[in-house]
Amino acid sequence: MKPRISTPTGELTAFRQLLSATPRGARLARWLAVHQLDAWGFPHGSDVSDAAAHIVAELAANAITHGRVAGRDFELRLTRREPNTLRIEVADARSDRLPRCEPPEGDAESGRGLCLVAALAAAWGVIEREVGKTVWAELKV
């Protein structure tokens, strides 16, 4: 499925893409998000673009690391909600490991990503689905 980047003058206020649950898929999710935001009028390097890129990168990395099921993709969804909210959602196929923001102890090299999401987002959470879960975050724009 070819990604569809909507323009600011178009009717679309949502973007959705299935991506392979691989490191390449996670990198592509971040790239697609930044390009979609640019098309919606949030240029590369802006505060909104940078915050969204960090959030997408973290949620996609978690989806491929902790939510991966062989043969299943993960989904990236961006939605512009009026008047000033951007919702970022990443869905994966596992619901047995629900994410939480709990900083690791000591000098651990990982485990801080969702705390970064919590710091950047106005709100975030997890929705369980019939198969898997969706982790979402909202930015004020």
How is the chain split into domains, by residue range?
14-140
Question: What does the mean pLDDT of the chain come to?
Answer: 87
Give pTM, 2 decimals: 0.85
* CATH fold for domain 14-140: Heat Shock Protein 90 (3.30.565)
Nearest to 110 by CA among 62, 74, 50, 77: 62
The per-residue pLDDT for 97 is 67
All residue ranges of the chain with pLDDT < 70 are 1-12, 97-101, 104, 108-111
The per-residue pLDDT for 3 is 56
The answer for residues whose C-beta is within 8 angstroms of residue 43's C-beta and 6 or more apart is: 49
The per-residue pLDDT for 11 is 46
The per-residue pLDDT for 106 is 72
The per-residue pLDDT for 94 is 87
Containing 50, the helix (H) or strand (E) segment is helix 47-66
Rg (CA), the chain: 15
The answer to whether 13 and 79 are in contact (CB under 8 A) is yes
The answer for residues whose C-beta is within 8 angstroms of residue 135's C-beta and 6 or more apart is: 59, 62, 63, 89, 90, 91, 99, 124, 125, 126
The answer to whether 70 and 18 are in contact (CB under 8 A) is no
The answer to whether 133 and 92 are in contact (CB under 8 A) is yes
The per-residue pLDDT for 99 is 66
The per-residue pLDDT for 9 is 47
